[in-house]
Amino acid sequence: MELIEVLKAVLFGIVEGITEWLPISSTGHMILLDEFIQLNMSKEFMEMFFVVIQLGAIMAVVILFWHKLFPFSLKEKPFIKQETFSMWFKIVVACIPAGIVGLLWDDEIDALFYNYQTVAIALILFGILFIVIENRNKNKLARIDSIEKITYQVAILIGLYQLIAAVFPGTSRSGATILGGLMLGLSRTVAAEFTFFLAVPVMFGASLLKLLKFGFAFTSTEIAVLVTGMIVAFVVSVLAIKFLMTYIKKHDFKVFGWYRIVLGCVVLLYFLVNSVK
C-alpha cells in the first residue's frame, strides 16, 4: 500500500516540476490529477502536500541560478556583489503584497476561491491575456533587458501581479508575474528569471506556514510520499526551467496562452459533466 502511494507521489512530482515554472498553472493540473489519481491521505495532509512539494521545485532554481542568487564572491579576494544585494531588496519589495495577504487571509482565500470554477476562469482569462499582450508587443523592443534595470517601482508592480495569483488559484504564480513583467516592458528572459527568483522566498514562506499548521507528526508513509514528491519535482523542475529558458529565446508565450484556454475549458467541461451525473 505504501509503495502505491509513493508511485502516485512520483506522478504528482512530475506534474509539479513541469507546471510550476511553465506559465500554465500548477494548481489547475494538480486539481485534475487529484481527480484521477487520489492519494490515500487525509485532507489536512493533502493541503500541506500541494504546497510543500514546491520546495523541490524551488531547490532547482537555487541550484541553477546560484551564481546570480548568492550575494557573496568567495574567490581569491572575497567581496560582496552589490547588484545581487540590490536584486534581493527588490525581490523582498515584490513579495510584500502577497506575503501580507497570505499571512492574514490564507484560510479565507482557500475557502472562497479554491474551486474548479475559479481555476478554470483564471486559466482561460490569463491565457487570453498572454495572446493579447504578445500580439501587442510583437516587434517591440523590451525597455528592461536585465535584472539590474528593474526599478523598485516595477518590482512592487510585479508583486501586485503575484498577489493576483496568490488570491486566485489557476492564475499561475509564474504566469501572473511573467505576464505582468511583459506588460511593464521586461524582456521574456528577464521576466522569467525574475519570476523564478521571486518564487524562492514566497514558496519557502508558504511551505513553512503549511508545515507549521499541519505539524510535524508524520507517519512513515506521509514522509515517504512528501519526500518522493519533492525529489521528483526537483529533478523535473531542472529540466523544465532549462527548456523554458531555451524556448523563449526564439519563441513567445502565446503557445502557453492557447494551452491555458484549452485546459480551462477541459476543467469546466469535466466538472460540469460530473455535476449532472
Under a CB-based contact definition with an 8 Å cutoff, are residues 165 and 173 in contact? Answer: yes
Average pLDDT over residues 71-78: 76
Question: What pLDDT does 194 receive?
Answer: 95
Is the per-residue pLDDT at 1 higher than 80? no
11 burial type by CB count under 10 A (0-12 exposed, 13-18 middle, 19+ buried) = middle
| Total tally of structural domains belonging to the chain | 1
The helix/strand/coil state of 149 is helix
For 76, other C-beta atoms within 10 Å of its C-beta total 5
Handedness of CA 219, 60, 213, 105 (dihedral sign): negative
Q: Which domain holds residue 215?
A: 2-275
- Taking a C-beta distance cutoff of 8 angstroms, is the pair 29, 15 a contact? yes
- pLDDT above 70 (res 277): no
| C-alpha grid cell, residue 191 | 521576466
b/e 61-73 (16+ beta carbons within 10 angstroms → b)? beebeeebbeeee
SS3 of 186, please? strand
Cell 510583437 identifies what position?
A: 138
pTM above 0.75, yes or no: yes
Cite the DSSP H helix spans in the chain: 2-19, 26-36, 43-52, 54-64, 66-69, 82-113, 116-136, 152-167, 173-183, 188-214, 220-247, 254-275
Give the mean model confidence (pLDDT) for residues 162-190. Answer: 91
Three cell numbers, residue 269: 467541461
* Residue 23: per-residue pLDDT: 93
Mean pLDDT score of the chain, rounded to an integer?
90
> Residue 123 in contact with residue 270, Cβ under 8 Å?
no
For residue 132, what pLDDT band results from cuts at 50, 70 and 90?
A: very high
